Amino acid sequence: MSDALVIGGGPAGLMAAEVISAAGHSVIVAEAKPSVGRKFLMAGKSGLNLTKAQPFEAFLAAYQEAAPQLRPMLDAFGQEAVRDWAEGLGQEIFTGSSGRVFPKAMKASPLLRAWMGRLAAQDVTVQTRWRWTGVSDGAFAFDTPEGVQTLRPKVCVLACGGASWAKLGSDGAWVQALDQPVAPFQPANMGFEVAWSPHMAKHFGTPVKNVELCAGAQRVRAEFVISGRGLEGGGIYAVSRAMREGHALRLDLLPDLSEAEVRSRLSKPRGKASLSNHLRKVLKLSAEKQALVMEFARPLPDDLAPLLKALPVTHAGPRPMDEAISTAGGVPFAALDDALMLSEMPGVFAAGEMLDWEAPTGGYLLTACLATGRWAGQGAVARLSQI
C-alpha cells in the first residue's frame, strides 16, 4: 500500500506529490487522462506565465475574498519561490515589461519534463487513465484500463481541477465522486458572446489595443480581441468577473485623452472628409475601434466625445463554461481545516482549482495552484508523521 495518493496530475497535484515524496513517503499519482499536465501544457502554448512580479499585498489582492485563506500559502510559496522552483528545474526565467514572469523557453513542456524527471527520481508512481469514481471507508475506487482498482492510502490529496476544458481533464466530474457539498461552478476568465452584425466579420481576430475597460468598480487598461463568437482576450478576462455578476461593460477607446480633449479635436473642420477619415485623422481612431462604435452606438449622437470615452457594450453573456480558462466554485474553505484537510474526511486534503477561489490570468492562477498543492502536501506529510 502506498503512503499517499494524489488524485489529479496538474500543477497542484504534482506539487503535492513532490513535497510528500521528498519527505520520504511513497506516492501514487492517479490521472484520468492519458498523460499529466495537459491544461498546464495548453496554457504554455501562448507563453507560460508562471507568476507576476509585484508587491505581495497587491498580488494577494487579486484573489479578492479568498485572499485571507490563501495568504499563508502564498506567503510560504509566492512569487519569488515560484521563480526559484522553476530555476531549480533548470528553467531560465525572465520578467516582461508588464511584470509577468515567464520561463525563457516560453513553453511549459521543458519545465514539465524536468519536473516529471524529478518526481521519477523520488520514486513517484504515475498511473494514467485512472478515473476516480468514489471513496468509501477510506477506499478510493478508479475505473482503469485494467478494470476497477481500489487503493487504501494513509493520506490522500485531491487536486482534481475545476470544471473548464473537459477535454484536458478539468471537467468537474469529481463532485459526484467526492459526494460533499461544493459551491456551484461558474466560468472565470472567459469570453463573452456577441451577435455581430455582418460588417464586423472583417475584424474577426483583430486585437483592440490601447483601450481601458470598465465594469463595476474594475478598470483595466489592456487589449482584447474581436472574435467571431464575441469578445475575448486578456482585457475581457480581467473584467469578466464583474461582467458575470451583472455589471455593464464600457470601453474608453481613447484613454490618453480627456473627454474635453476628444471634443476639441472633433471640432476641427472636417471639410469633405467622411466621418471615418475624420476620426482617423484627428483622433487616430483605428478601424476596429470605429467598427465597435458603429456596432454598439448607432444611431450616433451629435456629441461623440462621451461615447468614445465610455462606449457601452451589448453582449449575450459568458461563453460556455467549458471554454473558460478557469472556474469559480468548488470545495469551500469552510469545509477545510488550516492544512486544507477536509473536516469530514480525516486524512484527505484538497488543493488547486477545485477549491472555491478565482483569480485573473497573469500568473495568479498557476501560483495559487502550486502554493495550495505544496500546502496540502505538507499537511499530508504532517498527518503521516502522526500515524
- String of DSSP letters for 1-33: --SEEEE--SHHHHHHHHHHHHTT--EEEEESS
385 residue type, one letter: S
Q: What is the pLDDT of residue 119?
A: 98
User: 250-277 b/e with 16+ CB inside 10 Å = b?
Assistant: bbbbbeebebeebbebbeeeeeeeeeee
- Bridge partners of 230, per DSSP, are 193, 227
pLDDT, mean over the chain: 96
Q: Tell me which H or E stretch contains 308.
A: helix 305-309
Is a pLDDT exceeding 90 seen at residue 2? no
Q: What is the pLDDT of residue 132?
A: 98
Q: What is the pLDDT of residue 166?
A: 93
223-277 pLDDT, tens digit per residue, is 999 999 999 999 999 999 999 999 999 999 999 999 999 999 999 999 999 999 9
Q: What is the pLDDT of residue 7?
A: 98
Strand 125-128's sheet: what is its strand order? Answer: 125-128, 27-31, 4-7, 155-158, 348-350
Contacts of 359 (CB under 8 A, 6+ apart): 62, 63, 64, 66, 326, 365, 368
How many CA within 13 A on the CB side of residue 222?
20
- Tell me which CATH code domain 4-186+326-386 carries: 3.50.50.60
140-169 pLDDT, tens digit per residue, is 999 999 999 999 999 999 999 999 999 999
276-317 pLDDT, tens digit per residue, is 999 999 999 999 999 999 999 999 999 999 999 999 999 999
Cα(352)–Cα(15) distance, integer angstroms? 10
Is a pLDDT exceeding 80 seen at residue 1? no
68-109 pLDDT, tens digit per residue, is 999 999 999 999 999 999 999 999 999 998 899 999 999 999
Cα(146)–Cα(127) distance, integer angstroms? 11
Q: What is the pLDDT of residue 67?
A: 98
300-359 pLDDT, tens digit per residue, is 999 999 999 999 999 999 999 999 999 999 999 999 999 999 999 999 999 999 999 999
Structural domain boundaries in the chain:
4-186+326-386, 192-313
Q: What confidence tier does 45 reach under pLDDT thresholds 50, 70, 90?
A: confident
Is a pLDDT exceeding 90 seen at residue 43? no
Q: What is the pLDDT of residue 328?
A: 97
Q: What confidence tier does 44 reach under pLDDT thresholds 50, 70, 90?
A: confident
Q: What confidence tier does 46 reach under pLDDT thresholds 50, 70, 90?
A: confident
Percent of the chain with pLDDT over 90: 97
Helix (H, G, I), strand (E, B) or coil at 380: helix
Query: In whole angstroms, how far apart are CA 132 and each of 97, 127, 157, 181?
Result: 42, 11, 12, 18
Q: What is the pLDDT of residue 382?
A: 98
What does 127-153 look like in DSSP terms, one character per residue?
A: EES-EEEEEETTEEEEEETTEEEEE--
- Bridge partners of 144, per DSSP, are 147
Cα(135)–Cα(155) distance, integer angstroms? 13
Q: What is the pLDDT of residue 387?
A: 86
